[in-house]
Amino acid sequence: MSLVEPETIEELVARNKELIKEVLEVYPEKTAKRRAKHLGAYEEAKSDCGVKSNVKSIPGVMTIRGCAYAGSKGVVWGPIKDMVHISHGPVGCGQYSWGARRNYYVGATGVDTFGTMQFTSDFQEKDIIFGGDKKLSKLIDEVQALFPLNKGVSIQSECPIGLIGDDIEAVSKAKAKEYDKTIVPVRCEGFRGVSQSLGHHIANDSIRDWVFDKQAGKPARFEPTPYDVAIIGDYNIGGDAWSSRILLEEIGLRVIAQWSGDGTIAELEATPKAKLNILHCYRSMNYISRHMEEKYGIPWVEYNFFGPTKIEESLRKIASQFDDKIKEGAERVIAKYRPLMDAVIAKYRPRLAGKKVMLFVGGLRPRHVIGAYEDLGMEIVGTGYEFGHNDDYQRTTHYVKDGTLIYDDVTGYEFEKFVDKIKPDLVGSGVKEKYIFQKMGVPFRQMHSWDYSGPYHGYDGFAIFARDMDMAINAPVWKLTKAPWAA
Amino acid sequence: MPQNAENVLDHFELFRQPEYKEMFEKKKQFENPTADAELERVCEWTKTKDYRDKNFAREALTINPAKACQPLGAVFAAVGFEATLPFVHGSQGCVAYYRSHFSRHFKEPTSCVSSSMTEDAAVFGGLNNMVDGLANAYNMYKPKMIAVSTTCMAEVIGDDLNAFIKTAKEKGSVPAEFDVTFAHTPAFVGSHVTGYDNVMKGILEHFWDGKAGTAPALERKPNEKINLIGGFDGYTIGNLREIKRVFASMGVEYTILGDASDVWDTPTDGEFRMYDGGTTLEDAANALHAKATISMQQFCTEKTLPYIAGKGQETVALNFPVGVQATDKFLMELARLTGKPISAELAKERGRLVDAIADSNAHIHGKKFAIYGDPDLTLGLAGFLLELGAEPVHILSTNGGKAWAAKVQELFDSSPFGANCHVYPNKDLWHMRSLLFTEPVDFLIGNTYGKYLERDTGAPLIRIGFPIFDRHHHHRYPVWGYQGALNVLVWILDKIFDEMDHSTNEVGKTDYSFDIIR
């Protein structure tokens, strides 16, 4: 098929429809029918992106998705730094997720902090046959003996736990009583649900049931102020929560908790005392935010700290929940950073303006980073979620332009074909995708780990974001991919 | 304001600025931190003999293991065959993990699909997932072969791969004659090296024993070829290329069984090659007729080699040969099996390696090393260190058991430099931490995760092993053959010299010993 560079919206929509039709041709009929519902082009004024989401991935297609364990241990619980998180089951899950997510923290690792350690019950055949509860019980004793400064333990269930009928809740209750510590059983077996997403939900619920409920009636460890807020849904990847927190404090708020990047159990416990929960990753932590709203009457606002346009909007939105002191603080901070932002944009926009970007990420990023790209004059031509729900696609409509290609739970085949035909100037996705597109000669940034850079949140982060996108797109290597003697 | 457009500060510098330091202090008051004195006390206690005893008394808890699960090794073995798509039957998250893990090490894509089993499959079994999955994978990715392995989920519920694949073929998922191999690879048995073994054996069985009852079993007609199995090896790119060069140098006809050296090292030239190189399916079948099979890693082929021997081939098992004598043994076995002399070219390379060791060994002699990693790798490296006059005082493996420990002890006993050395089977890196505190060494050899040990204990880390995530491209260099040993020698020496310089570079204090010639 010949692809003309679309000039009008009609041409763009027609081109994207043609493209979708073409990729679907590879599938057996049944699969083509199912995948067709996940691919589309956004039509302006519609309430969502017109794609189906949060349903099972199709066997054999090379989905990019992970599992519930990844959503709980890897995302929600893992960053709580003063707890020991047990990967309960065989060795692999904990091994592959060990230290890979760059949830930055400070602390004495191995003494009072455990973020970059791999604790596992390393299940053997006998544990599968006879059950693992006794082992788990002994294991918790050993944790207490070797890591007396731990503030709690979470049990992150791997697939076999739910299949062999272990009662990790009973073990957790008994041991929590024995040691007077928080011990949280999490039923995040990898086969549950369709992606990481259910793992987020299960992990949120386990905080509700095993952390909050236990705290009922206990006083706060600090004097409350009218300006107490909690950062929810920031995993401090490359320090993101820090470059966000600094702005919130600068406008006059007091951050009493970080969920969960660089977080502690004390911060989780204190959060019901917050005046406002501010939610970055809606997908992974809307559940607990809603719960706190219902149970403790804490309102929550979503915000977006990628790129100056969205940061300004978000600071004003957050400040609008408070008195004039905070509102003035927000204006002061916006004004303070504007020269920096102007300088960053002046430096990088000329090098990036007009460049086309395709995204495929998880959580909030398939929409949240769009503003930051647009601040640099770049254009998002395609985006999609690894494990988004329809409410994510609804929120995405505020970010994408008419005709944008949308692909939910994209398969390896589809993504490669889309990029091959659309030929974007940059792809932003994960490590499994990175090398595929680079080999095709397309510049790439990992948008889960920030490609080992970051932070990207906040004003400080935007400067790094701009620098990194420039270095990806304008790297001299992309001019070397074709040998000069080849036609 | 710490940030500026001219000189953008990222995480390395940004968080060291006063604004952030102040913020960290403020955050601390919400963290309910341990008092400094208590923290210090516990921190020091973790370095003691008392702590070590408690640590070694662990029975249930594993901390920072140096092993992965069977299914990872399964994928490693499968991608070494021509246009072969690994298909992992079970939960889909596992496959995302294997792909990421390999990509972080090799800086390459790893193509692999999952049958995406969820709760309903846990109840009813994963037959439909297999039927649909094979059809989709076959149509989308046009492999020449699909190698099925399992995650622990499919193993716990007891899915029968052989029956499922038969049914899938009957239902037309893939053509009846299309090669679908299978191996059960439960994550709760053995480690990644076991998974490698099971899949390698499964693929050979498929071709040699009549394709799961769908074709006549092959009859062995011995020829003069040599099969070589590399095993699960983080240096597979460099190593297999080096082995091919060695074979060519001696004029040996060979088949490498499981050759991932191309698919994990494809060029950036505008085209993504999902498949590249690999053992052809024809060669995999004809490997039955070979005169002999050499396994470079005994513990990666514990089932495969006896299976091959059972077909009438001679088999030779090595333990990740590194260094002069281990390479000598490899080449002499090759010469014995083929009747071909070791080439003058290789003899000269041997001499050059010995020359390099003679030049440099004074800097290594008597130095104490700790090594951890896979069973064969640790044996190979320990052997080389003994040759260099170093003392590999702690040899630790999480997936090495009693049989491995006995081999290591045998190695210690063969050299005066092994006299004060100890082997630690089925132990993890938290055990190693205690060893390094209570019986310090000069250098530590291990994978990327050793950097936590280096930070805690001060033992300088020489990165050799798998995975290596935080240094680039070493996997492109061989560590086998005389040339490979030279690389290992240089990596060890580089670290030794760097440490010498770092410990003597304070002007006005240690100006002496900061030598320009070493």
Percent of chain A with pLDDT over 90: 97
Amino acid at A137: S
Instruction: Please check whether residue A449 touches B, CB under 8 A.
Output: no
Which residue in the list B152, B408, B441, B488 is annotated as catalytic? B152
| Residue pair B134/B86 in contact by the 8 Å Cβ criterion | no
Mean pLDDT, residues B235-253: 98
Report pLDDT for A3: 56
Is residue B366 scored above 50 in pLDDT? Answer: yes
What is the least distance, in Å, from the CA of B124 to any CA of chain A?
12
- Mean pLDDT of the residues in chain A: 97
Distance CA B332, CA B340 (A): 10
Mean pLDDT, residues A383-408: 97
Percent of chain B with pLDDT over 70: 100
Q: What residues of chain A lie within 8 A of the CB of B62, using their CB?
A: 91, 119-122
Q: What is the pTM of this model?
A: 0.98
Q: What residues of chain A lie within 8 A of the CB of B99, using their CB?
A: 432
Instruction: Please check whether residue A437 touches B, CB under 8 A.
Output: yes
- Measured over the CA atoms of residue B240, residue B246, residue B248 and residue B254, the dihedral's sign is negative
Q: Do B11 and A149 touch (CB under 8 A)?
A: no
Nearest CA in chain B to A88: B61
Catalytic status, residue A70: yes
Q: What residues of chain A lie within 8 A of the CB of B71, using their CB?
A: 92
Report pLDDT for A1: 43
How many Cβ atoms are within 10 Å of A22's Cβ, its own excluded?
14
Which residue in the list A41, A49, A68, A70 is annotated as catalytic? A70
On the question of a common fold for B70-208 and B226-342, the answer reads yes
**Residue B297 gets which letter from DSSP?**
B
Mean pLDDT, residues B110-114: 98
Q: What residues of chain A lie within 8 A of the CB of B473, using their CB?
A: none
Q: Do A62 and B433 touch (CB under 8 A)?
A: no
Q: Is A374 exposed, middle or buried (0-12, 13-18, 19+ CB in 10 A)?
A: middle
Distance CA A283, CA A198 (A): 10
Whose CA is closest to B91, among A122, A68, A197, A125? A68
Is residue A331 scored above 70 in pLDDT? Answer: yes
How many C-alpha atoms does A56 have within 13 Å on its Cβ side?
17
Nearest CA in chain B to A345: B5
Q: How confident is the model at residue A486 (pLDDT cuts 50, 70, 90)?
A: confident
- Mean pLDDT of the residues in chain B: 98
What is the least distance, in Å, from the CA of B345 to any CA of chain A?
33
What is the least distance, in Å, from the CA of B69 to any CA of chain A?
5
Distance CA B405, CA A467 (A): 51
Interface list for A 371-410 with B (CB within 8 A): none
Catalytic status, residue A283: no
Residue located via tokens 């929509």: A13
Is residue A372 scored above 70 in pLDDT? Answer: yes
Q: How confident is the model at residue A314 (pLDDT cuts 50, 70, 90)?
A: very high
**Chain segment B302-346, per-residue pLDDT in tens:** 999 999 999 999 999 999 999 999 999 999 999 999 999 999 999
Helix, strand and coil percent figures for chain A, each rounded to 5:
50, 15, 40
Whose CA is closest to A415, among B29, A445, A406? A406
Nearest CA in chain B to A99: B449
- Measured over the CA atoms of residue B431, residue B432, residue B436 and residue B439, the dihedral's sign is positive
Check whether domain B226-342 has CATH 3.40.50.1980, yes or no: yes
Q: Do B113 and A100 touch (CB under 8 A)?
A: no
Q: What residues of chain B lie within 8 A of the CB of A99, using their CB?
A: 449
Catalytic status, residue A85: no
> How far is residue A250 CA from its own chain's centroid?
25
Interface list for B 100-139 with A (CB within 8 A): 100-101, 103-104, 107-119, 121-122, 128-130, 132-139
E strand or H helix that includes residue B254:
strand B254-257
Q: Do A61 and B118 touch (CB under 8 A)?
A: no
Report pLDDT for A217: 83
Is residue A487 scored above 90 in pLDDT? Answer: no
* Lookup: tokens for A179: 């040691």
Per domain, the residue ranges of chain B are 70-208, 226-342, 345-502
Q: Do A459 and B3 touch (CB under 8 A)?
A: yes
What is the least distance, in Å, from the CA of A486 to any CA of chain B?
11
Amino acid at A291: H
Report pLDDT for A4: 58
Q: How confident is the model at residue B418 (pLDDT cuts 50, 70, 90)?
A: very high
Instruction: Please check whether residue A60 touches B, CB under 8 A.
Output: yes
Distance CA A467, CA A351 (A): 10
Report pLDDT for A2: 46
- 3-state SS, residue B384: helix
Best of A73, A96, A249, A337 to substitute, by most chain B Cβ atoms within 10 angstroms, is: A96
Whose CA is closest to B435, among B463, B412, B406, B457? B457
Nearest to B34 among A59, A149, A481 (CB): A149
Percent of chain B with pLDDT over 90: 99
Report pLDDT for A216: 83
DSSP A191-238: TSSSSHHHHHHHHHHHHIIIIIHHHTTPPPSS---TTEEEEEEE--BT
Q: Is A343 exposed, middle or buried (0-12, 13-18, 19+ CB in 10 A)?
A: middle
Instruction: Please check whether residue A108 touches B, CB under 8 A.
Output: yes
Whose CA is closest to B142, among A53, A60, A439, A358? A60
Q: Do B118 and A109 touch (CB under 8 A)?
A: no
Superfamily of domain B345-502: Nitrogenase molybdenum iron protein domain (3.40.50.1980)
Report the alpha-carbon angle A162-A164-A169, nearest 5.
Answer: 55
Strand partners, B283: none
Whose CA is closest to A193, among A415, A410, A407, A389? A389
Check whether domain B70-208 has CATH 3.40.50.300, yes or no: no
Nearest CA in chain A to B268: A439
Distance CA B188, CA A94 (A): 13
* Lookup: tokens for B315: 């088999």
Strand pairing report for B226-229 and B292-295: parallel
Q: Do A138 and B59 touch (CB under 8 A)?
A: yes
Interface list for B 428-457 with A (CB within 8 A): 430, 433, 449, 452, 456
**Chain segment B431-440, per-residue pLDDT in tens:** 999 999 999 9
Q: What residues of chain B lie within 8 A of the CB of A191, using their CB?
A: 91, 117-119, 121-122, 153
Nearest CA in chain B to A104: B11
Q: Do B103 and A483 touch (CB under 8 A)?
A: no
Instruction: Please check whether residue A56 touches B, CB under 8 A.
Output: yes
Interface list for B 31-60 with A (CB within 8 A): 31-34, 38-39, 42-43, 46, 51, 54-55, 58-60
Q: What residues of chain A lie within 8 A of the CB of B21, using their CB?
A: none
Nearest to B129 among A59, A245, A431 (CB): A59
Q: What residues of chain A lie within 8 A of the CB of B109, using their CB?
A: 432-436, 439
Interface list for A 406-435 with B (CB within 8 A): 411-413, 416, 430-435
**Chain segment B83-110, per-residue pLDDT in tens:** 999 999 999 999 999 999 999 999 999 9
Q: What residues of chain A lie within 8 A of the CB of B97, using their CB?
A: 66, 70, 92-93, 96-97
